[in-house]
C-alpha cells in the first residue's frame, strides 16, 4: 500500500528538483547542474495484463545540448526479493522508450533495507546471469545528518530529505529541532511546504509526534491527517458554527446552552453546512437537528 510516508520519500525530488544534484553527488554520480527537469508519468505498463508503476520518473535535459538522462526514483521500506526483476524492467523500459541512459535511485529509511537495495542483483539461470541491476541507494549510511540550524537553513530541501531519511535515528529529536529552527527563518511558502512535507514523510512514528509539537503552519497535503490540516478544519468548523448561531440570533430565535454546545462540538463541515441552510428557515433551533436520533432529548 502506498502511504504518505512512502510518497514523500520520492515526491520531494519532483517538487524540489534542485535536490537532485547534491544527493547524486553523495552517490558519486554527476548530473548536469543546468538542466531542464521534467516530471513524467510513472506508468510503465505495456499492452499486457500487468500493471507496472514507478514512484517517480524524471527526465533531465542539459541546457548545453548534452544527452538527456532518465531518473527512476523508488522509495523502499523493506526487503522485497521480487523488486529486482521490476527494477530491471523499469530501467530497460525507460532506456528503450526514451533512447537515452537511465538510472535508478532507491530511497531507504533504514540501514538494513539500504544495504539490501544496493545489490547488485544478478538475474537469470544459475549457470548464466544475463542481467545485472545496480541501483543507486540513498539511505542513513550516505545521507548526512544535519543537526546545525544554520546548515539546515542553507538548503532546506536537503535538510528535510535528510531528516526523513534519518527518521529512525536515536538523534532524530536533535535533527528535527535543527530543521524547525531553520524553517523559523524561512519565507512563509517554504515554511508551510517543508513543515507539512516533513510531517507526512515521518508517517505514524514517534518522530512525527515530536514534529507536531514543533510546527504549526498551512497545508500542502490535504487528506493526510496532519496537525495543520486538523487545525484548519477545526477553525473552519468553528466559523461555520458561529455563522449558524449569528443567523439564528439575527432572526430572533433563542438557542439553549445545550444547543450551543451541540453546534460547537460538531466538526463535520457538511453537517454544519446543512445546519446553516436550515438556519434561514427554521422557527425553532431544535429543528436544526431534526433528522438526528435523540435530537429533541439533547435540546
The CATH number of whichever domain residue 44 belongs to comes to 3.40.1350
Q: Residue 92's pLDDT is what?
A: 92
Tell whether 241 and 270 lie within a shared domain. yes
Tell whether 239 and 161 lie within a shared domain. no
**Angstrom distance (rounded) from CA 114 to CA 9:** 13
Q: One digit per residue, pLDDT tens: the chain, 299 residues?
A: 345 677 777 778 888 888 888 888 888 888 877 788 877 755 554 434 444 567 888 899 998 888 899 999 999 989 998 899 999 999 999 999 899 999 999 999 899 999 999 999 999 988 899 999 999 999 999 999 999 999 999 999 999 999 999 998 889 999 999 998 888 888 878 888 888 888 888 887 888 888 888 776 444 445 556 666 666 667 677 888 888 898 888 888 999 999 999 998 888 888 888 898 898 888 999 998 887 544 444 44
Domain that holds residue 262: 229-298
Q: Residue 298's pLDDT is what?
A: 43
**Angstrom distance (rounded) from CA 75 to CA 106:** 6
Tell whether 168 and 109 lie within a shared domain. no
| 68 part of a folded domain | yes
Tell whether 78 and 13 lie within a shared domain. yes
**Angstrom distance (rounded) from CA 248 to CA 64:** 67
| 268 part of a folded domain | yes
Tell whether 32 and 121 lie within a shared domain. yes
How would you class 57 by CB atoms within 10 Å of its CB: exposed for 0-12, middle for 13-18, buried for 19 or more?
buried
Tell whether 15 and 111 lie within a shared domain. yes
Q: Is the pTM of this model over 0.75?
A: no
| 143 part of a folded domain | no
Of 202, 225, 248, the domain-final residue: 225
Neighbours of 246 (CB within 10 A): 11
Q: Into how many domains does the chain fold?
A: 3
At a CB cut-off of 8 Å and minimum separation 6, what does 21 contact? Answer: 31, 33
Q: Residue 212's pLDDT is what?
A: 83
| 98 part of a folded domain | yes
Q: Residue 213's pLDDT is what?
A: 80
Amino acid at each position: 500500500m502506498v502511504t504518505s510516508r512512502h510518497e514523500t520519500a520520492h515526491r520531494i525530488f519532483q517538487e524540489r528538483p534542485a535536490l537532485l544534484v547534491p544527493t547524486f553527488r553523495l552517490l558519486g554520480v554527476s548530473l548536469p547542474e543546468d538542466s531542464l527537469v521534467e516530471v513524467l508519468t510513472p506508468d510503465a505498463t505495456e499492452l499486457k495484463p500487468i500493471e507496472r508503476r514507478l514512484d517517480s520518473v524524471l527526465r533531465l535535459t542539459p541546457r548545453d545540448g548534452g544527452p538527456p538522462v532518465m531518473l527512476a526514483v523508488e522509495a523502499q521500506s523493506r526487503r522485497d526479493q521480487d523488486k529486482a526483476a521490476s527494477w530491471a524492467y523499469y530501467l530497460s523500459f525507460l532506456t528503450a522508450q526514451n533512447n537515452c541512459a537511465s538510472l535508478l535511485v532507491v530511497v531507504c529509511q533504514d540501514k538494513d533495507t539500504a544495504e539490501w537495495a544496493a545489490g547488485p542483483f544478478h538475474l537469470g539461470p544459475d549457470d548464466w546471469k544475463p542481467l545485472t541491476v545496480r541501483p543507486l541507494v540513498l539511505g542513513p549510511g550516505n545521507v548526512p545528518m544535519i543537526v546545525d540550524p544554520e546548515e539546515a537553513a542553507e538548503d532546506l530541501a536537503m535538510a528535510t530529505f535528510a531528516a526523513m531519511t534519518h527518521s529512525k535515528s536515536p538523534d532524530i529529536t536533535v535533527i528535527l529541532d535543527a530543521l524547525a529552527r531553520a524553517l523559523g527563518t524561512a519565507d512563509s511558502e517554504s515554511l508551510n511546504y517543508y513543515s507539512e512535507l516533513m510531517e507526512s514523510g515521518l508517517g505514524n512514528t514517534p518522530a512525527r509526534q515530536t514534529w507536531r509539537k514543533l510546527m504549526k503552519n498551512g497545508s500542502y497535503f490535504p487528506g493526510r491527517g496532519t496537525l495543520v490540516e486538523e487545525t484548519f478544519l477545526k477553525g473552519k468548523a468553528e466559523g461555520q458554527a458561529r455563522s449558524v448561531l449569528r443567523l439564528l440570533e439575527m432572526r430572533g430565535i433563542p438557542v439553549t446552552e445545550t444547543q450551543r454546545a451541540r453546534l460547537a462540538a460538531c466538526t463535520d463541515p457538511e453537517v454544519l453546512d446543512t445546519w446553516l441552510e436550515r438556519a434561514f428557515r427554521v422557527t425553532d433551533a431544535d429543528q436544526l437537528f431534526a433528522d438526528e436520533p435523540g435530537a429533541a432529548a439533547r435540546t
